[in-house]
Chain A
Amino acid sequence: MLMKHFILLAVLSVLLIAPLQANQQGIVVRTAAVHASPSHGAQRVGEITAGTTVSIFSRQGGWKEVFSEEHSIIGWVRSYQVREGNAAPVVETTNESDSRGFLAGLASFSRKASSFFKSDSSATSSGTATIGVRGLSEEEIKTARADFAEFEKMIKFASNSKRAGSFARQGGLSSTRVPHISGKKQ
Protein backbone atom coordinates (compact mmCIF):
# COMPACT_ATOMS: atom_id res chain seq x y z
CA MET A 1 0.00 0.00 0.00
CA LEU A 2 2.75 2.33 1.04
CA MET A 3 4.60 1.39 -2.16
CA LYS A 4 1.57 2.27 -4.28
CA HIS A 5 1.39 5.70 -2.67
CA PHE A 6 5.05 6.17 -3.29
CA ILE A 7 4.73 5.31 -6.97
CA LEU A 8 1.73 7.62 -7.32
CA LEU A 9 3.67 10.39 -5.62
CA ALA A 10 6.64 9.78 -7.87
CA VAL A 11 4.50 9.87 -10.99
CA LEU A 12 2.76 13.03 -9.81
CA SER A 13 6.00 14.79 -8.97
CA VAL A 14 7.37 13.82 -12.36
CA LEU A 15 4.23 15.15 -14.03
CA LEU A 16 4.81 18.46 -12.33
CA ILE A 17 8.53 18.60 -12.97
CA ALA A 18 8.35 17.10 -16.45
CA PRO A 19 7.74 20.31 -18.41
CA LEU A 20 10.80 21.87 -16.78
CA GLN A 21 13.16 18.93 -17.10
CA ALA A 22 12.14 16.79 -19.99
CA ASN A 23 13.85 18.52 -22.84
CA GLN A 24 14.92 15.17 -24.28
CA GLN A 25 12.21 13.30 -26.12
CA GLY A 26 12.38 9.78 -27.44
CA ILE A 27 10.37 7.06 -29.09
CA VAL A 28 10.14 3.53 -27.78
CA VAL A 29 11.07 1.56 -30.88
CA ARG A 30 10.34 -1.88 -29.48
CA THR A 31 7.97 -2.77 -26.68
CA ALA A 32 10.04 -2.39 -23.55
CA ALA A 33 9.89 -3.82 -20.06
CA VAL A 34 10.17 -1.04 -17.49
CA HIS A 35 12.41 -1.72 -14.50
CA ALA A 36 12.58 0.02 -11.13
CA SER A 37 16.33 0.53 -11.43
CA PRO A 38 18.96 0.21 -14.20
CA SER A 39 19.70 -3.45 -13.76
CA HIS A 40 18.32 -6.48 -15.54
CA GLY A 41 17.63 -8.16 -12.24
CA ALA A 42 15.63 -5.19 -10.98
CA GLN A 43 11.92 -5.36 -10.32
CA ARG A 44 9.73 -5.02 -13.41
CA VAL A 45 7.19 -2.28 -12.94
CA GLY A 46 5.44 -2.35 -16.29
CA GLU A 47 5.72 -2.12 -20.04
CA ILE A 48 5.76 0.61 -22.67
CA THR A 49 4.54 -0.37 -26.12
CA ALA A 50 6.45 0.36 -29.31
CA GLY A 51 5.73 3.71 -30.87
CA THR A 52 5.11 5.50 -27.58
CA THR A 53 6.69 8.93 -27.16
CA VAL A 54 8.59 9.24 -23.88
CA SER A 55 10.60 11.81 -21.98
CA ILE A 56 14.17 10.76 -21.25
CA PHE A 57 15.52 11.94 -17.90
CA SER A 58 18.85 10.28 -17.64
CA ARG A 59 21.06 7.60 -19.00
CA GLN A 60 23.12 5.10 -17.09
CA GLY A 61 25.17 2.55 -18.94
CA GLY A 62 22.91 0.56 -21.20
CA TRP A 63 19.78 2.03 -19.63
CA LYS A 64 17.57 5.08 -20.06
CA GLU A 65 15.24 6.46 -17.41
CA VAL A 66 12.01 7.37 -19.16
CA PHE A 67 8.54 8.67 -18.43
CA SER A 68 5.50 7.78 -20.51
CA GLU A 69 2.49 10.00 -20.05
CA GLU A 70 0.38 7.55 -22.05
CA HIS A 71 1.21 4.61 -19.76
CA SER A 72 1.55 6.75 -16.59
CA ILE A 73 4.79 5.06 -15.82
CA ILE A 74 8.33 6.02 -14.98
CA GLY A 75 11.29 3.70 -14.89
CA TRP A 76 14.32 2.27 -16.63
CA VAL A 77 14.31 0.60 -20.03
CA ARG A 78 17.11 -0.84 -22.17
CA SER A 79 18.82 1.97 -24.01
CA TYR A 80 18.42 0.40 -27.43
CA GLN A 81 14.67 0.18 -26.98
CA VAL A 82 14.39 3.95 -27.09
CA ARG A 83 15.52 6.16 -29.91
CA GLU A 84 16.39 9.69 -28.91
CA GLY A 85 14.84 12.58 -30.78
CA ASN A 86 11.28 13.47 -31.69
CA ALA A 87 9.00 11.99 -34.31
CA ALA A 88 10.50 13.87 -37.22
CA PRO A 89 14.08 14.40 -36.15
CA VAL A 90 15.49 15.75 -39.35
CA VAL A 91 12.97 18.36 -40.29
CA GLU A 92 13.23 20.33 -37.06
CA THR A 93 16.85 19.81 -36.12
CA THR A 94 18.48 22.68 -37.94
CA ASN A 95 20.06 23.86 -34.68
CA GLU A 96 21.37 20.43 -33.85
CA SER A 97 22.86 19.90 -37.26
CA ASP A 98 24.54 23.29 -37.00
CA SER A 99 26.28 22.15 -33.84
CA ARG A 100 27.49 19.04 -35.65
CA GLY A 101 28.93 21.09 -38.47
CA PHE A 102 28.69 20.92 -42.21
CA LEU A 103 28.86 17.15 -42.56
CA ALA A 104 25.68 16.58 -40.61
CA GLY A 105 24.14 19.52 -42.37
CA LEU A 106 24.76 17.91 -45.72
CA ALA A 107 23.32 14.63 -44.56
CA SER A 108 20.18 16.18 -43.15
CA PHE A 109 19.77 18.12 -46.38
CA SER A 110 19.87 14.96 -48.45
CA ARG A 111 17.58 13.18 -46.01
CA LYS A 112 15.04 15.97 -46.16
CA ALA A 113 14.80 15.32 -49.86
CA SER A 114 13.87 11.68 -49.37
CA SER A 115 11.73 9.97 -46.77
CA PHE A 116 14.73 8.83 -44.82
CA PHE A 117 13.36 7.99 -41.39
CA LYS A 118 10.41 5.70 -40.84
CA SER A 119 8.79 8.46 -38.83
CA ASP A 120 9.08 11.06 -41.58
CA SER A 121 5.64 12.20 -42.65
CA SER A 122 6.22 11.11 -46.23
CA ALA A 123 7.73 7.76 -45.28
CA THR A 124 4.77 5.81 -46.51
CA SER A 125 4.85 7.26 -49.98
CA SER A 126 6.79 5.10 -52.36
CA GLY A 127 8.96 6.27 -55.19
CA THR A 128 12.10 7.33 -53.36
CA ALA A 129 13.69 3.89 -53.48
CA THR A 130 14.37 4.14 -57.18
CA ILE A 131 16.60 7.19 -56.79
CA GLY A 132 20.22 6.08 -56.92
CA VAL A 133 22.64 6.80 -54.12
CA ARG A 134 25.91 8.52 -54.91
CA GLY A 135 28.60 5.83 -54.87
CA LEU A 136 28.46 2.24 -53.73
CA SER A 137 25.33 0.89 -55.30
CA GLU A 138 25.57 -2.84 -55.86
CA GLU A 139 26.39 -2.26 -59.50
CA GLU A 140 29.03 0.35 -58.74
CA ILE A 141 30.75 -1.94 -56.24
CA LYS A 142 30.94 -4.71 -58.81
CA THR A 143 32.11 -2.61 -61.73
CA ALA A 144 34.32 0.05 -60.15
CA ARG A 145 37.95 0.21 -61.21
CA ALA A 146 40.35 -0.05 -58.30
CA ASP A 147 41.76 3.34 -57.31
CA PHE A 148 45.28 2.67 -56.01
CA ALA A 149 46.17 6.37 -55.71
CA GLU A 150 43.28 6.76 -53.28
CA PHE A 151 44.48 3.67 -51.44
CA GLU A 152 47.95 5.20 -51.00
CA LYS A 153 46.25 8.30 -49.61
CA MET A 154 44.25 6.18 -47.17
CA ILE A 155 47.21 4.32 -45.69
CA LYS A 156 49.03 7.61 -45.13
CA PHE A 157 46.35 8.55 -42.58
CA ALA A 158 46.99 5.37 -40.58
CA SER A 159 47.67 5.81 -36.89
CA ASN A 160 50.30 4.01 -34.83
CA SER A 161 50.49 2.72 -31.27
CA LYS A 162 52.13 5.89 -29.95
CA ARG A 163 49.64 8.25 -31.58
CA ALA A 164 46.63 6.09 -30.70
CA GLY A 165 47.89 5.73 -27.12
CA SER A 166 48.08 9.47 -26.55
CA PHE A 167 44.74 9.92 -28.35
CA ALA A 168 43.21 7.42 -25.91
CA ARG A 169 44.71 9.15 -22.86
CA GLN A 170 43.40 12.52 -24.02
CA GLY A 171 39.98 10.97 -24.35
CA GLY A 172 40.09 9.39 -20.89
CA LEU A 173 40.24 5.89 -22.37
CA SER A 174 42.18 3.04 -20.86
CA SER A 175 42.17 -0.58 -21.91
CA THR A 176 40.45 -3.11 -19.71
CA ARG A 177 40.45 -6.89 -19.70
CA VAL A 178 37.06 -8.08 -20.89
CA PRO A 179 36.50 -11.75 -21.77
CA HIS A 180 34.64 -12.70 -24.93
CA ILE A 181 30.97 -13.49 -24.68
CA SER A 182 30.44 -17.07 -25.75
CA GLY A 183 26.99 -16.36 -27.08
CA LYS A 184 25.61 -19.33 -25.23
CA LYS A 185 23.19 -18.76 -22.43
CA GLN A 186 24.84 -19.65 -19.15
Chain B
Amino acid sequence: MKILSQVILLVSLGLGPAVTTPSFALSLEDLNEELKQAGEKLKQKTRQGQEAIDRARGKLSTEEEIEVGGNLISGLLGAAPLVDDAGLQQYVNDVGYWVAAQSRRSDLPWSFGVIDSEGVNAFAAPGGYVVITLGLYNLLENEAQLAGVLAHEIAHVVRKHHLKALQKTMKREFWADLGVKAASHEHHAEELKKLINSGVQLYASGLDRKYEYDADLRAVVLAARAGYDPYALLDVLTTIDSINPEASELTVFMNTHPPTAQRLDQLGRKMDGRLDDYASGRHNTARFRRVGGDP
Protein backbone atom coordinates (compact mmCIF):
# COMPACT_ATOMS: atom_id res chain seq x y z
CA MET B 1 0.00 0.00 0.00
CA LYS B 2 2.82 2.26 0.90
CA ILE B 3 4.62 1.41 -2.35
CA LEU B 4 1.48 1.99 -4.39
CA SER B 5 0.91 5.40 -2.97
CA GLN B 6 4.55 6.21 -3.66
CA VAL B 7 4.15 5.10 -7.27
CA ILE B 8 0.99 7.16 -7.67
CA LEU B 9 2.75 10.14 -6.20
CA LEU B 10 5.70 9.70 -8.55
CA VAL B 11 3.45 9.27 -11.55
CA SER B 12 1.37 12.23 -10.66
CA LEU B 13 4.50 14.29 -10.10
CA GLY B 14 5.87 13.15 -13.45
CA LEU B 15 2.69 13.67 -15.40
CA GLY B 16 1.43 16.58 -13.45
CA PRO B 17 3.38 19.28 -15.16
CA ALA B 18 2.79 17.76 -18.57
CA VAL B 19 -0.94 17.83 -18.05
CA THR B 20 -1.33 21.09 -16.24
CA THR B 21 1.19 23.28 -18.08
CA PRO B 22 -0.85 23.93 -21.26
CA SER B 23 -3.97 24.85 -19.39
CA PHE B 24 -1.94 27.00 -17.00
CA ALA B 25 -0.18 28.78 -19.90
CA LEU B 26 -3.50 29.43 -21.54
CA SER B 27 -5.02 30.95 -18.43
CA LEU B 28 -1.89 33.03 -17.91
CA GLU B 29 -2.26 34.49 -21.39
CA ASP B 30 -5.90 35.21 -20.71
CA LEU B 31 -5.01 36.70 -17.41
CA ASN B 32 -2.38 38.88 -19.08
CA GLU B 33 -4.90 40.06 -21.63
CA GLU B 34 -7.49 40.72 -18.97
CA LEU B 35 -4.97 42.55 -16.83
CA LYS B 36 -3.96 44.63 -19.81
CA GLN B 37 -7.55 45.54 -20.54
CA ALA B 38 -8.22 46.31 -16.91
CA GLY B 39 -5.09 48.47 -16.87
CA GLU B 40 -6.28 50.38 -19.92
CA LYS B 41 -9.71 50.85 -18.37
CA LEU B 42 -8.15 52.02 -15.16
CA LYS B 43 -5.94 54.47 -17.06
CA GLN B 44 -8.95 55.77 -18.94
CA LYS B 45 -10.95 56.13 -15.73
CA THR B 46 -8.02 57.86 -14.07
CA ARG B 47 -7.70 60.21 -17.03
CA GLN B 48 -11.42 60.98 -16.90
CA GLY B 49 -11.22 61.40 -13.17
CA GLN B 50 -8.23 63.74 -13.51
CA GLU B 51 -10.10 65.74 -16.12
CA ALA B 52 -13.07 66.03 -13.76
CA ILE B 53 -10.77 67.09 -10.93
CA ASP B 54 -9.05 69.58 -13.24
CA ARG B 55 -12.45 70.98 -14.16
CA ALA B 56 -13.46 71.32 -10.55
CA ARG B 57 -10.20 73.10 -9.89
CA GLY B 58 -10.74 75.40 -12.82
CA LYS B 59 -8.31 74.03 -15.34
CA LEU B 60 -9.01 74.41 -19.02
CA SER B 61 -7.87 72.22 -21.87
CA THR B 62 -5.06 73.72 -23.95
CA GLU B 63 -7.53 74.42 -26.77
CA GLU B 64 -9.84 76.29 -24.40
CA GLU B 65 -6.89 78.15 -22.95
CA ILE B 66 -5.90 79.33 -26.43
CA GLU B 67 -9.50 80.33 -27.19
CA VAL B 68 -9.87 82.35 -23.98
CA GLY B 69 -6.44 83.96 -24.46
CA GLY B 70 -7.18 84.94 -28.04
CA ASN B 71 -10.34 86.71 -26.89
CA LEU B 72 -8.55 88.49 -24.06
CA ILE B 73 -5.77 89.77 -26.29
CA SER B 74 -8.37 90.90 -28.88
CA GLY B 75 -9.85 93.01 -26.09
CA LEU B 76 -6.51 94.68 -25.44
CA LEU B 77 -6.04 95.23 -29.18
CA GLY B 78 -9.44 96.93 -29.13
CA ALA B 79 -8.06 99.43 -26.61
CA ALA B 80 -4.75 99.90 -28.45
CA PRO B 81 -4.09 98.53 -31.96
CA LEU B 82 -0.80 97.13 -33.24
CA VAL B 83 1.91 99.61 -34.23
CA ASP B 84 1.84 99.79 -38.02
CA ASP B 85 5.37 98.51 -38.62
CA ALA B 86 5.68 94.97 -40.00
CA GLY B 87 9.46 94.86 -39.48
CA LEU B 88 9.09 95.74 -35.82
CA GLN B 89 6.30 93.19 -35.28
CA GLN B 90 8.28 90.41 -36.94
CA TYR B 91 11.37 91.24 -34.92
CA VAL B 92 9.48 91.11 -31.62
CA ASN B 93 7.94 87.79 -32.69
CA ASP B 94 11.36 86.31 -33.47
CA VAL B 95 12.81 87.35 -30.11
CA GLY B 96 9.69 86.19 -28.26
CA TYR B 97 9.43 82.85 -30.05
CA TRP B 98 13.09 82.09 -29.40
CA VAL B 99 12.71 82.82 -25.68
CA ALA B 100 9.43 80.87 -25.43
CA ALA B 101 11.14 77.92 -27.14
CA GLN B 102 13.30 77.61 -24.01
CA SER B 103 10.21 77.03 -21.84
CA ARG B 104 8.38 73.77 -21.15
CA ARG B 105 5.38 75.04 -23.14
CA SER B 106 7.25 75.71 -26.38
CA ASP B 107 4.44 74.02 -28.34
CA LEU B 108 1.90 76.80 -27.72
CA PRO B 109 1.06 79.05 -30.71
CA TRP B 110 3.23 81.90 -29.38
CA SER B 111 2.33 85.27 -30.82
CA PHE B 112 3.71 88.70 -29.89
CA GLY B 113 2.87 92.30 -30.71
CA VAL B 114 3.82 95.92 -30.06
CA ILE B 115 0.70 98.00 -29.40
CA ASP B 116 0.23 101.68 -29.99
CA SER B 117 0.02 103.08 -26.48
CA GLU B 118 2.22 105.56 -24.65
CA GLY B 119 1.54 103.70 -21.42
CA VAL B 120 4.52 101.74 -20.09
CA ASN B 121 3.35 98.14 -19.81
CA ALA B 122 3.24 94.62 -21.20
CA PHE B 123 0.48 92.03 -21.06
CA ALA B 124 0.12 88.28 -21.51
CA ALA B 125 -2.90 86.12 -22.15
CA PRO B 126 -3.35 82.37 -21.71
CA GLY B 127 -2.43 80.23 -24.68
CA GLY B 128 0.72 82.13 -25.65
CA TYR B 129 -0.25 85.73 -26.47
CA VAL B 130 1.99 88.63 -25.39
CA VAL B 131 1.86 92.34 -26.16
CA ILE B 132 4.19 95.14 -25.17
CA THR B 133 3.29 98.84 -25.41
CA LEU B 134 5.26 101.21 -27.61
CA GLY B 135 5.82 103.27 -24.46
CA LEU B 136 7.75 100.43 -22.85
CA TYR B 137 9.47 99.34 -26.07
CA ASN B 138 10.91 102.82 -26.50
CA LEU B 139 12.49 102.70 -23.06
CA LEU B 140 14.49 99.61 -24.01
CA GLU B 141 18.12 99.85 -25.03
CA ASN B 142 18.87 96.44 -26.51
CA GLU B 143 17.50 93.05 -27.57
CA ALA B 144 18.38 91.41 -24.24
CA GLN B 145 16.13 93.90 -22.43
CA LEU B 146 13.31 93.13 -24.87
CA ALA B 147 13.91 89.41 -24.29
CA GLY B 148 13.75 90.00 -20.53
CA VAL B 149 10.40 91.79 -20.72
CA LEU B 150 8.92 89.18 -23.07
CA ALA B 151 10.32 86.38 -20.86
CA HIS B 152 8.44 87.86 -17.87
CA GLU B 153 5.19 87.71 -19.83
CA ILE B 154 6.02 84.24 -21.22
CA ALA B 155 6.50 83.06 -17.62
CA HIS B 156 2.96 84.25 -16.76
CA VAL B 157 1.63 82.07 -19.58
CA VAL B 158 3.81 79.03 -18.83
CA ARG B 159 2.85 79.15 -15.15
CA LYS B 160 -0.83 79.78 -16.03
CA HIS B 161 -0.98 82.74 -13.66
CA HIS B 162 -4.06 84.26 -15.27
CA LEU B 163 -5.96 80.98 -15.14
CA LYS B 164 -5.00 80.50 -11.50
CA ALA B 165 -6.31 83.97 -10.76
CA LEU B 166 -9.56 83.26 -12.61
CA GLN B 167 -9.90 80.00 -10.74
CA LYS B 168 -10.09 82.01 -7.54
CA THR B 169 -12.53 84.63 -8.78
CA MET B 170 -14.99 82.27 -10.47
CA LYS B 171 -17.15 80.06 -8.28
CA ARG B 172 -16.67 76.31 -8.09
CA GLU B 173 -20.12 75.79 -9.65
CA PHE B 174 -18.99 77.72 -12.70
CA TRP B 175 -16.16 75.29 -13.37
CA ALA B 176 -18.36 72.27 -12.75
CA ASP B 177 -20.87 73.73 -15.19
CA LEU B 178 -18.19 74.39 -17.78
CA GLY B 179 -17.14 70.77 -17.54
CA VAL B 180 -20.54 69.26 -18.28
CA LYS B 181 -19.94 67.26 -21.42
CA ALA B 182 -23.59 67.27 -22.50
CA ALA B 183 -23.71 71.05 -22.50
CA SER B 184 -24.68 72.56 -25.81
CA HIS B 185 -22.17 74.42 -27.91
CA GLU B 186 -23.97 77.70 -27.25
CA HIS B 187 -24.00 77.09 -23.53
CA HIS B 188 -20.28 76.32 -23.55
CA ALA B 189 -19.55 79.48 -25.55
CA GLU B 190 -21.62 81.45 -23.04
CA GLU B 191 -19.56 80.07 -20.16
CA LEU B 192 -16.27 80.91 -21.86
CA LYS B 193 -17.59 84.43 -22.46
CA LYS B 194 -18.09 84.87 -18.70
CA LEU B 195 -14.52 83.73 -18.19
CA ILE B 196 -13.23 86.23 -20.77
CA ASN B 197 -15.13 89.09 -19.11
CA SER B 198 -13.51 88.26 -15.78
CA GLY B 199 -10.15 87.97 -17.51
CA VAL B 200 -10.45 91.51 -18.87
CA GLN B 201 -10.89 92.81 -15.33
CA LEU B 202 -7.59 91.15 -14.43
CA TYR B 203 -5.72 93.47 -16.80
CA ALA B 204 -7.06 96.46 -14.91
CA SER B 205 -6.61 95.07 -11.41
CA GLY B 206 -3.44 93.06 -11.96
CA LEU B 207 -2.35 89.62 -10.85
CA ASP B 208 -1.45 88.58 -7.33
CA ARG B 209 1.87 90.25 -6.57
CA LYS B 210 3.50 86.91 -5.79
CA TYR B 211 2.92 85.90 -9.43
CA GLU B 212 4.84 89.00 -10.53
CA TYR B 213 7.85 88.11 -8.41
CA ASP B 214 7.63 84.53 -9.68
CA ALA B 215 7.53 85.71 -13.31
CA ASP B 216 10.60 87.92 -12.73
CA LEU B 217 12.59 84.99 -11.39
CA ARG B 218 11.49 82.65 -14.20
CA ALA B 219 12.15 85.35 -16.78
CA VAL B 220 15.83 85.80 -15.98
CA VAL B 221 16.36 82.03 -16.27
CA LEU B 222 14.51 81.88 -19.61
CA ALA B 223 16.59 84.79 -20.93
CA ALA B 224 19.82 83.07 -19.84
CA ARG B 225 18.71 79.83 -21.53
CA ALA B 226 18.08 81.77 -24.74
CA GLY B 227 21.65 83.10 -24.66
CA TYR B 228 20.84 86.64 -23.47
CA ASP B 229 22.33 88.51 -20.52
CA PRO B 230 19.76 87.75 -17.79
CA TYR B 231 20.61 90.98 -15.97
CA ALA B 232 19.02 92.98 -18.78
CA LEU B 233 15.60 92.66 -17.11
CA LEU B 234 17.02 94.38 -14.03
CA ASP B 235 18.22 97.20 -16.26
CA VAL B 236 14.66 97.61 -17.58
CA LEU B 237 13.28 97.70 -14.04
CA THR B 238 15.94 100.24 -13.10
CA THR B 239 14.84 102.45 -15.99
CA ILE B 240 11.18 102.12 -14.98
CA ASP B 241 12.12 102.89 -11.40
CA SER B 242 13.67 106.14 -12.56
CA ILE B 243 10.37 107.31 -14.09
CA ASN B 244 8.35 109.82 -12.14
CA PRO B 245 5.68 107.60 -10.47
CA GLU B 246 3.19 110.40 -11.04
CA ALA B 247 3.63 110.19 -14.80
CA SER B 248 0.35 109.16 -16.39
CA GLU B 249 2.22 106.71 -18.64
CA LEU B 250 2.87 104.60 -15.58
CA THR B 251 -0.55 104.64 -13.87
CA VAL B 252 -1.78 101.19 -14.91
CA PHE B 253 1.66 99.64 -14.47
CA MET B 254 1.93 100.99 -10.93
CA ASN B 255 -1.58 99.79 -10.08
CA THR B 256 -0.96 96.28 -11.34
CA HIS B 257 2.61 95.50 -10.25
CA PRO B 258 4.55 95.49 -6.98
CA PRO B 259 6.70 98.59 -6.37
CA THR B 260 9.55 98.46 -8.89
CA ALA B 261 12.20 99.08 -6.25
CA GLN B 262 10.97 96.05 -4.32
CA ARG B 263 11.02 93.90 -7.45
CA LEU B 264 14.60 94.98 -8.07
CA ASP B 265 15.62 94.19 -4.52
CA GLN B 266 13.96 90.77 -4.50
CA LEU B 267 15.16 89.76 -7.94
CA GLY B 268 18.67 91.09 -7.37
CA ARG B 269 18.91 89.23 -4.08
CA LYS B 270 17.58 85.92 -5.42
CA MET B 271 19.76 86.05 -8.53
CA ASP B 272 22.82 87.00 -6.56
CA GLY B 273 25.74 84.95 -7.78
CA ARG B 274 23.56 82.28 -9.38
CA LEU B 275 23.43 83.54 -12.93
CA ASP B 276 26.86 85.16 -13.08
CA ASP B 277 28.00 82.42 -15.48
CA TYR B 278 25.47 83.62 -18.02
CA ALA B 279 25.92 87.36 -17.49
CA SER B 280 28.19 87.46 -20.54
CA GLY B 281 25.13 86.65 -22.64
CA ARG B 282 24.28 88.67 -25.74
CA HIS B 283 22.76 92.16 -25.85
CA ASN B 284 22.50 92.52 -29.64
CA THR B 285 22.26 96.29 -29.36
CA ALA B 286 23.13 96.92 -33.01
CA ARG B 287 20.39 94.61 -34.29
CA PHE B 288 17.89 96.18 -31.88
CA ARG B 289 18.71 99.67 -33.14
CA ARG B 290 18.31 98.69 -36.78
CA VAL B 291 14.69 97.68 -36.16
CA GLY B 292 11.88 100.22 -36.32
CA GLY B 293 14.34 102.95 -37.13
CA ASP B 294 15.89 103.98 -40.38
CA PRO B 295 13.93 102.90 -43.44
Tally of contact residues, A, Cβ under 8 A: 82
| A60 adjacent to chain B (CB < 8 Å) | yes
Name B residues whose Cβ lies closer than 8 Å to a Cβ of A. 70-71, 73-82, 86, 88-90, 93-98, 101-102, 109-113, 115-119, 121, 129, 131, 133-135, 137-139, 141, 143, 200-201, 203-204, 214, 217-218, 220-221, 224-231, 234-235, 237-239, 241-249, 251-252, 255, 261, 264-265, 268, 270-276, 278-280, 282, 284, 287, 289, 292-294
Partner of B81, one of A30, A147, A155: A147
Stretch at the interface among A1-9, A10-18, A68-76, A157-165: A157-165
In whole angstroms, how far apart are the Cα atoms of A103 and B124 in the complex? 23
A76 to chain B, nearest CB (A): 12
Q: Are B261 and A157 in contact (CB under 8 A)?
A: no
Partner of B76, one of A114, A119, A141, A172: A141
Asked if A158 meets B111 with Cβ closer than 8 Å, knowing A80-B234, A100-B289, A118-B242, the reply is yes
Asked if A78 meets B268 with Cβ closer than 8 Å, knowing A119-B242, A133-B119, A174-B227, the reply is yes
In whole angstroms, how far apart are the Cα atoms of A128 and B245 in the complex? 11
| A20 adjacent to chain B (CB < 8 Å) | no
A140 to chain B, nearest CB (A): 4
Asked if A115 meets B247 with Cβ closer than 8 Å, knowing A61-B231, A136-B119, A175-B101, the reply is yes
Q: Are A157 and B89 in contact (CB under 8 A)?
A: yes
Partner of A146, one of B71, B138, B265: B71
Asked if A128 meets B246 with Cβ closer than 8 Å, knowing A61-B231, A176-B227, the reply is yes
Q: Are B249 and A117 in contact (CB under 8 A)?
A: no
A62 to chain B, nearest CB (A): 4
Partner of A172, one of B234, B241, B282: B282
Interface centre among A79, A106, A114, A178, by most chain B C-beta atoms within 10 angstroms, is A178
Q: Are A99 and B289 in contact (CB under 8 A)?
A: yes
In whole angstroms, how far apart are the Cα atoms of A134 and B107 in the complex? 34
Residue-wise, chain A 69-107 has the 8 Å CB interface mask toward B (1 for contact) of 000000000111111100000000000000111111011
Partner of B251, one of A60, A138, A153: A138
Q: Are A131 and B248 in contact (CB under 8 A)?
A: yes
- When C-beta atoms are compared, the residue in chain A nearest to B224 turns out to be A178
A121 to chain B, nearest CB (A): 11
In whole angstroms, how far apart are the Cα atoms of A54 and B265 in the complex? 21
In whole angstroms, how far apart are the Cα atoms of A29 and B209 in the complex? 23
B270 to chain A, nearest CB (A): 6
Partner of A176, one of B113, B224, B241: B224
Q: Which residues of B contact A147 (CB under 8 A)?
A: 74, 77-78, 81
The 3 closest A-B pairs by CB, nearest first: A101-B293, A61-B279, A135-B80
Q: Which residues of A contact B133 (CB under 8 A)?
A: 135-136
Partner of A136, one of B117, B143, B261, B294: B117
In whole angstroms, how far apart are the Cα atoms of A9 and B208 in the complex? 52
Q: Which residues of B contact A99 (CB under 8 A)?
A: 289, 293
Q: Are A135 and B89 in contact (CB under 8 A)?
A: no
